């Protein structure tokens, strides 16, 4: 299971505080949760998406993380530390690699996910031409490709997420592998370069706790609106301020308007 971070700001952000310096930074979360299977940062430069990814544990290369974070200045940033899921039962060396590290990129979109997709091979059969997006053996990448297909098909993020849910329900029913649920979580932070989205959706893990403060459910995304910056994360980065939790099935949509960050929360699924 992974940890994620998303930032959107009125002015460009350099994410040293969020990735390294905060009491419960993404680096600290990776250390405590043993998210040691790769890491990455996605951001926008002059409106175009950029990626930096590594297949190594982020806590094994903190200097590289610091240099990378210090070099970024962007209004939208998505970061991810990975603990690899393995629904196919593959050898470990087939799970680890830069191509399996997140975030993923498709045209102008960036995407990161925390959770396990169970009927992953069955879902791949429904990707059509979007199967060409898949570069690795990461089940999260199948979810990513399905969401990109649904987004293009429906032209609307909310409808795309409902469409993806229907696909995963269909694959579970058609599978003969006895899955209890089609996924553990569809938690995702993603962007099209104009808006930042955060989707909180899980079917399992109710007894798990956040890795840092141990005071919130593991799969509950939380966010803090600071007016000029909105922070969305797998768990709060510091104790101060008003952190608000997304409900199960909620989608947060954030954008810049009139010199501040605006956001809305829509309930997608019960």
Residue 144: its pLDDT value, please?
Answer: 98
In degrees, rounded to 5, the angle at the alpha carbon of residue 222 between the alpha carbons of residues 209 and 105 is 105
Q: What is the pTM of this model?
A: 0.97
Neighbours of 83 (CB within 10 A): 16
Task: Check if the beta carbon of residue 213 is closer than 8 Å to that of residue 219.
Answer: no
Q: Which residues contact 154 (CB under 8 A, 6 or more apart)?
A: 160, 163
CATH number (3.40.50.720, 3.40.50.300, 3.60.20.10, 3.20.20.70) of 3-267 reads 3.60.20.10
Please name which of 250, 194, 237 lies closest in space to residue 4, comparing C-alpha atoms: 237
Residue 171: its pLDDT value, please?
Answer: 86
Q: Which residues contact 2 (CB under 8 A, 6 or more apart)?
A: 35, 80, 81, 82, 83, 102, 112, 113, 114, 234
Task: Check if the beta carbon of residue 187 is closer than 8 Å to that of residue 85.
Answer: no
Residue 172: its pLDDT value, please?
Answer: 78
The 3-class SS string of the chain reads CCEEEEEEEEEEECCHHHHHHCCCCHHHHHHHHCCCCCEEEEEEECCEEEEEEECCCHHHCHHHHHHHHHHCCEEEEEEEECCCCCCCCCCHHHHCCHHHCCCEEECCEEEEEECCECCHHHHHCCCHHHHHHCCCCCHHHHHHHHHHHHHHHHCCHHHHHHHHHHHHHHHHHHCCCCCCCCECECEEEEECCCCEEEEECECCCCCCECCCCCCCECCCCEEEECCCEEEEECCCCCCCCCCEECCCCEEEEEEEECCEEEEEEEECCC
Residue 166: its pLDDT value, please?
Answer: 94
Q: CA torsion, points 22, 26, 32, 35, in degrees to nearest 10?
A: -170
> Domains of the chain: which residue ranges?
3-267
pLDDT tens digits for the chain (270 residues)? 799 999 999 999 999 999 999 999 999 999 999 999 999 999 999 999 999 999 999 999 999 999 999 999 999 999 999 999 998 889 999 999 999 999 999 999 999 999 999 989 889 999 999 999 999 999 999 999 999 999 999 999 999 999 999 999 888 777 767 778 899 999 999 999 999 999 999 999 988 999 999 999 999 999 999 999 999 999 999 999 899 999 999 999 999 999 999 999 999 998
Residue 143 CA to residue 164 CA, distance in Å, equals 8
């Amino acid at each position: 299971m992974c940890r994620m971070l998303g930032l959107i700001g009125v002015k460009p952000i350099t994410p040293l505080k969020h990735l390294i310096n905060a009491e419960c930074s993404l680096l600290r979360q990776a250390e405590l949760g043993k998210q040691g299977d790769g890491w990455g940062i996605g951001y926008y430069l002059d409106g175009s998406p950029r990626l930096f990814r590594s297949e190594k544990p982020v806590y094994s290369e903190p200097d590289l993380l610091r240099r990378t974070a210090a070099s970024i200045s962007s209004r939208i940033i998505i970061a991810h530390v990975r603990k690899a899921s393995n629904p196919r039962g593959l050898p470990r060396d087939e799970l680890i690699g830069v191509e399996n590290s997140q975030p993923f990129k498709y045209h102008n979109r960036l995407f990161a996910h925390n959770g396990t997709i169970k009927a992953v091979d069955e879902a791949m059969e429904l990707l059509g031409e979007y199967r060409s997006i898949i570069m690795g053996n990461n089940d999260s990448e199948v979810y990513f490709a399905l969401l990109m297909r649904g987004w293009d098909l429906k032209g609307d993020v909310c409808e795309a997420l409902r469409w993806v849910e229907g696909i995963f329900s269909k694959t579970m029913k058609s599978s003969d592998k006895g899955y209890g649920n089609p996924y553990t979580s569809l938690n995702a932070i993603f962007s099209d370069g104009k808006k930042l989205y955060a989707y909180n959706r899980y079917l399992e893990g109710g007894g798990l706790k956040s890795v840092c403060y141990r005071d919130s459910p593991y799969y509950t995304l939380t966010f803090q609106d600071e007016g000029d910056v909105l922070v969305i994360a797998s768990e709060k980065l510091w104790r101060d301020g008003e952190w608000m939790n997304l409900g199960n099935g909620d989608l947060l949509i954030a954008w810049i308007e009139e010199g501040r960050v605006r956001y809305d929360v829509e309930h997608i699924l019960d």
